[in-house]
């Protein structure tokens, strides 16, 4: 089976890139299931119901979140209505779930949303929680386990790879919006530190550059805004899993605006 994973979708420019390109990419790369991170999809902060329906209509099958999952409070009312999860290590009283299961091509697939510690909201220990979660899933006979590791620190993501590379199918990093050039398959586990944003590429992490530059120059903050018009990029990892949940190949797809796609193969260990 082939899985497509899209990192942080940032605002309208990111949604429009998916509208233009996603269904064609799914056909060209024989993608069976598509996952995307929604936490910046509605003007850079959170997700509205309107944009949720829009993204699902473009061909996304389910979506993961992060530290901005709850920026739009209406999401509290529709976790049960749409295929959405939030980080599993939020307190158990937090609305929503952090684990999504689905039957696909005769196999049960588990998708876990996990959030790191560094600069993030108050959450439970991601490492002890995911270790227990992976053990529980394996005991249930689930071999196809995919993790969205939403974290600022690259060290947390690398540590997760070393800890779980023989137990899960894929670990895809999100949150920083800046793609890393380290897509690899290690001991049957697909890994990349950060998939990178889908949205504006000529600002700062998908936003207008003026407020971030002001903060760096003066120490004074402001509200981040997503430009209405910009140079855009779509970034997606496509990986193939065998019947035992092992990754047997992966590639990174990038599209700049409406230019031809760029495909880079993963390093295979």
Which residues belong to the active site?
A: 68
Cβ neighbour number for residue 178 with a 10 Å cutoff: 13
- By C-alpha distance, which of 2, 22, 5, 40 is closest to 173? 5
Token pair belonging to 119:
């600069």
The set of long-range contacts for 169-173, using a CB threshold of 8 Å and a minimum separation of 24, is 169/143, 169/144, 169/145, 169/239, 169/241, 169/245, 169/246, 169/247, 170/3, 170/5, 170/145, 170/146, 170/239, 170/241, 170/247, 171/147, 172/5, 172/7, 172/146, 172/147, 172/148, 172/237, 173/7, 173/149
Calpha distance 253→263 (Å, rounded): 5
Alpha helices, DSSP H, located in 58-191:
126-139, 154-164
What is 163-176 written as a DSSP string?
HHTTT-SEEEEESS
Cβ neighbour number for residue 238 with a 10 Å cutoff: 23
Q: Which residue has the tokens 């510690």?
A: 117
């Amino acid at each position: 089976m082939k899985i497509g994973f899209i990192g942080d979708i940032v605002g309208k420019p990111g949604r429009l890139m998916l509208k233009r390109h996603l269904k064609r990419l799914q056909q060209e790369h024989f993608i069976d299931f598509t996952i995307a991170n929604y936490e910046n999809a509605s003007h850079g902060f959170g997700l509205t119901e309107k944009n949720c329906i829009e993204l699902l209509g473009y061909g996304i099958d389910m979506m993961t979140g992060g530290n901005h999952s709850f920026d739009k409070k209406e999401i509290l009312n529709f976790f049960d209505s749409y295929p959405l999860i939030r980080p599993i290590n939020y307190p158990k009283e937090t609305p929503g779930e952090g684990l999504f299961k689905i039957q696909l091509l005769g196999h049960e697939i588990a998708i876990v949303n996990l959030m790191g510690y560094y600069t993030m909201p108050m959450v439970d220990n991601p490492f002890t929680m995911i270790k227990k979660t992976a053990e529980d899933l394996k005991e249930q006979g689930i071999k196809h386990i995919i993790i969205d590791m939403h974290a600022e620190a690259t060290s947390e993501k690398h540590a997760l790879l070393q800890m779980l590379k023989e137990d899960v199918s894929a670990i895809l990093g999100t949150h920083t919006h800046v793609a890393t050039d380290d897509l690899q398959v290690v001991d049957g586990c697909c890994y990349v530190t950060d998939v990178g944003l889908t949205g504006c590429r000529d600002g700062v992490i998908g936003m207008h550059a003026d407020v971030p530059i002001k903060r760096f120059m003066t120490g004074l903050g402001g509200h981040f805004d997503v430009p209405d018009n910009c140079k855009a990029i779509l970034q997606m990892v496509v990986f193939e899993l065998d019947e035992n949940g092992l990754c047997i190949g992966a590639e990174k797809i990038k599209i700049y605006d409406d230019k031809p796609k760029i495909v880079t193969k993963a390093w295979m260990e």
